[in-house]
A and B are shown apart, each in its own frame.
Chain A
Amino acid sequence: MRITGKKIKPATVAVYLTVIVVTIIMLLPFAWMLSASLKLDRDVFAFPIEWIPSHPRWQNYVDIWTKIPLALFIYNTSKLTIIVTLLQLLTSSFAAYAFAKLHFPYKNTLFLGYIATIAMPWQVYMVPQFLLMREFGLNNTHLALICLQAFTAFGVFLMRQFYMSIPTELCEAARIDGMNEYQIWAKIMLPLSKPALSTLTIFTFVTTWNDFLGPMIYLTKTELKTIQIGLRMFISQYSAEYGLIMAASVVALIPVLVVFLALQRFFVEGVASSGLKG
């Protein structure tokens, strides 16, 4: 077999060139971050940039754990994120099943209430929410943040959109076979909604893990703080220790990267099928 010199179209070259340049712009800050996390502070701003440090300073990754209680912050954030994500998946898919497949009085009114709050900026009601939590004695507790983030209208909306695309005949057949509604939800709807559940997982995980304003308002005790607040604290305390700041930033990014890479193949599918496209 002979490889014939295929003529490369200029349009193809332009496409690749654009895509590669944009990708570099998108990823360069992360590359810079990774590179700086392995440098001495005085080398961080050296120009031209030494992308792969000749003497990588791994010590930065050791020091960050002792300078601030990073492990504790990661534990707190993981705890919050996992609880919120699980609650969100459970209660959203549960409520969405009723909105998509069952009939009951005031269904449309209730659903309209959900929709209306999606467009409402959180900042509009963050103050009364804060006062309410204070009234309940929940300030400086993780429970406050869980209550805040576990019951979103967005989750119900997203899951309902997906369930609407599942044929109702499937549920009716199951009813005739003697399944009750809870069984239909658990044995038919949940297994079918993997793309939507993955989409909601990515959204919730990422939002909760990266949330900054919520923990900043509710958590003032160091032992309760999350990684984002910790990172922010670290930045203001060690503002000139660029290498350390970058190392801590890299650590804060890893869990999100892992979840995202694990679930991302469901993501486009989920966005497409749940009607998020409008």
Chain B
Amino acid sequence: MGFETSTKPGGKLVTLANPALSDNRADVKAPRKVRVVSRRRRRIENALIAYSFIAPNFLGFAVFTLGPILFAFALAFMHWDGSNPIEFAGLDNFWRLFEDRAFIDAFWNTIIYTAVSVPLTLACALGLAILLNQKIFGRDFFRTAMFFPYVASLVAVAVVWNMVFNPEMGPVNMLLYTIGIPPEDLPGWAADRHWAMVTVILFGIWKSMGYYMVIYLAGLQGINSELYEAAGLDGANAWQKFIHVTLPQLAPTTFFVTVMLTIQSFKVFDQVYMITQGGPGTSTLVLVYHIYNEAFISWDLGYSSMIALVLFLLVLVVTVVQFRRQRED
């Protein structure tokens, strides 16, 4: 292990104090004291080994993630355009939030997006996981197919989505037209103020459902089949088994999925950028989009960090509330 060959004065004692080599311990004058020293050195050595395992990741993580996070919190209380000197702003950026119409719209749009898409995605993912947990023909193919939108490039699928849902020429409206919906009643999808958010939400569910289905599948596979057998002996039907066995057993999975989904929907940006660019008007403007605009379009870095801080607090509050509720259950 290296330190037996210590070059320090009294190295011989240290060597002998090593438990592995201590057959002739009687020769050692003060074995106790020396062993304490060597144990301490061993502890230090072990800690150094452990730190050497962590260091490559931690250094990068500290410089490129932890540091910027702390800087972000500080920037929220500054005025800065990225080149002129930084000025302390106190709560200026905070008060500005309440007068910023776009921020208020973005805030509510983010809440609406989350409130609608989280339960819908959860229900779809759970339903599919239960169907695909059964022994049906071609199960692996179906599972893979459901998951594929999640791994597919957002830019590519958003383009298809835009084309398929094109109000004038897209196949979806063509289909609606052929089944008898008059042209003036056809939804305008991404181009229509009232339908834009629906389009973004549908796209989000379609894209991420498969991922949460896989997590639910893992959860379902962890349920002990004896529970179902016992319920069967008690005369439970399929629905009762679902309510009294499956759902309670899946509670930790549902908790995890809810937290993940909520965090993800608060962070929604890419799909908005690709499909509606926040419009029409501010109908699909979300918090991250506003952060992006303020930072990289207006170069108002302090204010954009303040919006980011609000977003962070929102995520934090929701996560903490969910953890509390989980513990109460």
Contacts and interface: CB of A to CB of B under 8 A. Distances in A.
Contacts of A91: 56-57, 60
A47 B163 CA distance: 13
Given A121-B315, A264-B147, A278 B267 contact: no
B67 interface: yes
Nearest to A159: B57
Interface residues of A, number: 93
A128 B71 contact: yes
B interface secondary structure, majority: helix
A256 B152 contact: yes
Nearest to A49: B171
Interface of A: 12, 15-16, 18-19, 22-23, 25-27, 29-30, 32-33, 36, 44-45, 47-49, 90-92, 94-95, 97-99, 102-105, 107, 110, 113-114, 117, 119-132, 147-148, 150-153, 155-156, 180-181, 185, 202, 206, 209-210, 212-213, 217, 227-228, 231-232, 235, 242, 245-246, 249-250, 252-253, 256-257, 260-261, 264, 267-268, 271-272, 276-278
A242 B274 CA distance: 16
Given A228-B155, A246-B160, A271 B146 contact: no
A30 B148 contact: yes
Given A30-B160, A152-B61, 8 more contacts: A15-B134, A19-B132, A23-B146, A92-B57, A117-B65, A125-B69, A210-B153, A231-B159
B215 interface: yes
A15 B58 CA distance: 48
Given A33-B160, A151-B64, A127 B295 contact: yes
A217 B210 CA distance: 29
B14 interface: no
Contacts of B51: 98, 104
Contacts of A105: 47
Contacts of A114: 61
A260 B148 contact: yes
B156 A253 contact: yes
B75 to A, nearest CB: 6
Interface string B54-98: 101111110111111101100100000010000000000000000
Contacts of A235: 155, 159
A113 B221 CA distance: 31
Contacts of B304: 127
Contact of A123 (B75, B288, B319): B288
Interface in B290-320: 291-292, 295-296, 301, 304-305, 308-309, 311-312, 315-316, 319
B243 interface: no
A26 B146 contact: yes
Going nearest first, the 7 A-B pairs with the smallest beta carbon separation are A278-B256, A151-B60, A249-B156, A272-B218, A98-B53, A128-B71, A104-B50
A99 B153 contact: no
A148 B49 contact: no
